[in-house]
Chain A
């Protein structure tokens, strides 16, 4: 391995420190037996036990997971269809307006998006709860999915779809049997992106959640305002664990796919 120059070494250290030091501190203190978060009093896993017995926390976690699953799935379907229409639909009436509206949530501040959704739900008389959070999260996740899928579709060879039609597919079959399998990686990353964004959202959820349905970020935020408890540290450590496992798995899968492809190509050229 190449030896790093002192300059590179320094920037690497600082980079990693800025990124990971806060998290490391958090994980370490989640195993602190002391009730005072910042005073170390020995190793213990008792806060994890406390956490799992905390029903309000568990409820919030369950709400969050359901919201993330539902909204990212819904957003993936809608976002993929929207991207398909924008790329393949030609110059239909109102195309510019549609693409502008679709991408608006990307640039709109969360506060404004949350507020306008709140006003909408009140106007149509929809009670705030699980459903409104799902709808709100779908709105912005859909924009992200559309961006990811659009960039894949633009690079997609249109004659593949025409070949499918030529060989007897209806338009829908051509999409299902040819387009979708080929753009699947983009669709899956769109879903993952939507899932993560939903897990992570505090602002929009605050506007659209009701008393019966609180998400984890809201719960954590309000708990922390009363003082950081070791329990929150434990919860955060678990979340860090889940996200890390997810990210590492995803990168391993894509790395293996690339390696396989390269091996295949080498085998093909004698």
Chain B
């Protein structure tokens, strides 16, 4: 038997785009101890953040947490009350919006109703006093990029919502800004168009190499498009990380709870041996086995966060996993591709477990009031001290 030629593997660290892990990388945008107050209300609270060139950076958080305010400070519509914002090393304080290499796609699109699609896209180029043929070439390029060629002569009210959204994107991209800001750009689209557009956005971002900062309150959207996500709450950034790390390694209960579905179990952390951590969460139940965590003092109260899909449901007691618990199915949430089982443990605790529906509904294994075993590995969840 011939041995297949060994393909040289690229060094994964060389190809992966992760400037934030590179100590020598210079960020494009720097927020340094930035605060923004409206009267005595603090919208942004002593926030420090670096965003790198070519990133697709997502600001994620509940409504009113200060996402739009961050964008408006980058665009130049608001000035930071304290702290500095630099763009490419230059302090942006006091530089008006029209002199920044930044363009914004507005939440409401803000297309000029009295101008055609073509003139909307050309608007920014004309302000730069570019020669006519240059403007024409650039607008054509933008129309092609956003697949709007046959709508060039229409007015904004003569095209559909999805097309309007693409005009807004083309107009903002036309001046080839260093930084593009997108404030909930897909909020007005229905789900299917939204998902298509998310991939389109990623594609365009990759093609143009522009740094994108997107605001969203939809965590799925942030997970799909972003290179990194900043999870915000009340004007503060709680965690900045890649989508996978935000999901798998949340730094706090707030982040774990905000992103995706999670079981939060409170208990006391102990460490019987250096290689083994435990969380005692209920009297009479064996403690949850976890990987030991270094930063947490033994004996403190912690929250154990575990995603439903990390928990397996079975009829027989499993013997291949470190953690198991016995309970009764109280409720089943059927989502098509998965089902979420709400299981009540003998301690009264409710735990959610999600299983993929590999077979069709008639052959489903578990039903209401079934007594089942839940099991998971010691690496499946995270221990959170705050």
Contacts and interface: CB of A to CB of B under 8 A. Distances in A.
A117 B175 CA distance: 53
Contact of B114 (A163, A182, A265, A267): A182
A164 B114 CA distance: 13
Interface string B60-94: 00000000000000011100000000000000000
Given A162-B97, A167-B123, A170-B98, A178 B103 contact: no
A163 B110 contact: yes
Contacts of A168: 98, 124, 127-128, 175
A157 B108 contact: yes
A264 interface: yes
A173 B77 CA distance: 16
A264 B175 CA distance: 30
Nearest to B107: A159
Contact of B112 (A166, A178, A268, A269): A178
A169 interface: yes
A203 interface: no
A165 B114 CA distance: 17
A173 B110 contact: no
Interface of B: 75-77, 96-98, 102-104, 106-108, 110, 112-114, 123-124, 127-128, 154-155, 157-160, 171-172, 175
Given A182-B113, A264-B157, A267-B158, A166 B108 contact: no
28 contacts: A162-B75, A162-B110, A163-B106, A163-B110, A165-B76, A165-B97, A166-B98, A166-B102, A166-B103, A166-B104, A167-B103, A167-B127, A167-B175, A168-B127, A169-B98, A169-B127, A170-B98, A173-B127, A178-B112, A182-B113, A261-B157, A264-B155, A264-B157, A264-B158, A265-B158, A268-B158, A268-B159, A269-B160
Given A159-B107, A166-B75, 9 more contacts: A157-B110, A162-B106, A162-B110, A163-B110, A165-B97, A166-B102, A167-B103, A178-B112, A268-B154
A253 interface: no
A160 interface: yes
B104 A163 contact: yes
A267 B154 CA distance: 10
A42 interface: no
A102 B102 CA distance: 39
A177 B127 CA distance: 11
A89 interface: no
Nearest to B108: A159
A265 B154 CA distance: 10
Nearest to A165: B97
A181 interface: yes
A166 B179 CA distance: 12
B303 to A, nearest CB: 41
A181 B155 CA distance: 14
B69 to A, nearest CB: 14
Nearest to A161: B110
Nearest to B168: A163
B154 A165 contact: no
Interface in A129-175: 157, 159-160, 162-170, 173
Central interface residue in A160, A165, A168, A269, by most chain B CB within 10 Å: A168
A170 B128 CA distance: 12
Interface string A228-270: 0000000000000000000000000000000001001101110
